[in-house]
Chain A
Amino acid sequence: MILKSEFAAVEVEVQENGRGPRLMIRDARTDQTIFLDPLELECLAWRKHYDLRPFLDPSQGRWQDGLDDDLPRMLKGVNVDL
């Protein structure tokens, strides 16, 4: 299933082929993927949206200084030095 807004597009799928079920979330633009287990999802259900701020802060993960983030990776093929 694809969930899309004007800000993001993700593919979501329940995977049952391992030792236990997991929710797969794949960023449709970069293929970055995470698998969330029921305990992680339960804890998410108990949080407020406000609590998710650190995950939404790009400099705390995806676009953090010094990290080989997805932006240069995407541009490697076209030889752009950021």
Chain B
Amino acid sequence: MVTKPKLDLDELVQEGRVNSRVYNDPAIFEMEMEKIFHRTWVYVGHESELPDGGDYKSTFIGRRPVILSRSSDDGQIHAFFNRCRHRGSTVCQQEYGNSNYFRCAYHGWVYNNHGDLVGVPFEEGYGNDFDKDKIGLMRVPRVGSYRGFIFASVSPEGHSLDEHLGNAKLGLDFITSQDLVLGRGHHKFFFNGNWKLQMENTVDGYHVGTLHKAYFEIVERRTGRPVMMNADAGRTRDLGNGHNTLADDPYDPGFQVGPMGLNFNLGIFPNIDILALETMLPTQIRHIRPIAVNRTEVTLHPLLKKGASPEVNFDRLRRYEEFYGPGGFASPDDWEIFSRINNGLQADNEDDKENHWVLHLRGLDTEEVDDERGIRTNRGGFGEASQRAIYRHWKQVMSE
């Protein structure tokens, strides 16, 4: 029998620093599955991924395989666990498809996309007590959406989606005001490192000018103008509940969208980042899936401009590809660094209590605290308020 370790959370997470075990201890990863991914609200997809009746998507909530489907009859989106009620096989294998009924490949049990068990081969053999109504696909207990972003919770109880999103809703309001829609395509990649590294990285302005230097040198050569990194520009914020932002976000009073569009990244704990840097690059959604303590899947969905000409959206995709994705100039830099962090943290000796920390100290002493809104701000995009946001909330949910 495996006994669960008793975690001393105060030893793992302190203001401005995180114990390296938080990134590489398999037992802590198991607890994250239980207390975060299998309990709180988790992003599962966007409504525009299922535009037509019969569309479905196979995805995961933590480790649990789920199906999202859109009914052809009423247009509603349903969420089920992807598990045949007979012998337990996953029913849908493809990531996306269109089918109003699903047939398990093992013995041919058929479900409709509302989750009802429709029939089984040679049903008479099951006798009179066989009640198909009781063995439909199991529903995910709670599903909700905000502005087209669909979230689900494996737990029937807990905070409402509204409470969970909290201050992140304002960011989503602005992002969805820009008439953006998911294209049909996406990139998917895996890295050898912990899932939280991607959550930290998307709202990290500090690394852009160093890690992605090669890209900006190309831009300098192409334009003939130097690219200057300005530590004073933008903001980083802890929005509460683990959510965070980077750059020119709408949380300043009087904020207005500039002529070039939005210019901020929004992280929604625990598994979605939205990069709305329209002044520089097309918006994208990053959907993060933890696989193991040191293995993570990330799916990138570039967003297109609704109603724009094919030429405009073609250009958006090419600019997206230039920076992001497996062939981009920047994303592979990040994945390489995540792998290096995974390797570097192996150096830490658990008995050496003074030196096994990962530091998120930058701007800790200058954080502006807005208690009324529950927002902490670092002026300038190089502050690490957005990383501290993740671990303040992580510590809280892991203690519950």
A-side interface residues toward B, CB under 8 Å? 5-8, 48-50, 52-53, 56-60, 62-65
Which of B91-99, B151-159, B192-200 interfaces with chain A?
Answer: B91-99
Besides A57-B118, A57-B119, A59-B120, 10 more A-B contacts (Cβ < 8 Å) are A6-B99, A49-B54, A49-B73, A49-B112, A52-B100, A53-B112, A56-B112, A58-B108, A62-B121, A65-B122
Say yes or no: B101 contacts A56, CB within 8 Å: yes
- Asked if B110 and A49 make an inter-chain contact with CB atoms under 8 angstroms apart, the answer reads no
Question: In the complex the two chains form, is B124's CB within 8 Å of A65's CB?
Answer: yes
Contact A59 B123 (CB under 8 A): yes
Chain B residues lying within 8 Å of A60, measured Cβ to Cβ, are 119
List the B side residues contacting A52 at CB < 8 Å: 100-101
A6 and B118 within 8 A (CB): no
Q: State the CA gap A9–B100 with chains docked (Å).
A: 15
| Between-chain CB contacts (< 8 Å), 25 pairs | A5-B98, A5-B99, A6-B93, A6-B94, A6-B97, A48-B72, A49-B71, A49-B72, A49-B73, A50-B73, A50-B112, A52-B101, A53-B112, A53-B118, A56-B119, A57-B119, A57-B123, A58-B110, A58-B119, A59-B119, A59-B120, A59-B122, A59-B123, A64-B122, A65-B125
Q: Is B287 an interface residue (CB 8 A)?
A: no
CB neighbours (8 Å) of B121 from chain A are 58-59, 62-63
Q: Name A's interface SS.
A: loop
List the count of A-B residue pairs having beta carbons below 8 Å apart: 62
Does A7 lie within 8 Å of B124, measured CB to CB? no
Query: How far is B93's CA from A6's CA once the two chains are assembled, in angstroms?
Result: 7
Indicate if B103 sits at the interface (CB-CB under 8 A).
yes
Complex interface: chain A residues within 8 A of B100 (CB): 49, 52
Bound-state CA distance A63–B71 (Å) is 26
**Residue interface bits B73-113, CB-to-A below 8 A is 1, else 0:** 10000000000000000001110011111110000101010
What chain B residues lie within 8 Å of A62 (beta carbons)?
Answer: 121
> Could you tell me the distance between the alpha carbons of A48 and B53 in the complex, rounded to whole angstroms?
12
Please name the residue on chain B nearest to A62 by beta carbon. Answer: B121
Chain B residues with Cβ below 8 Å from A5 are 94, 97-99
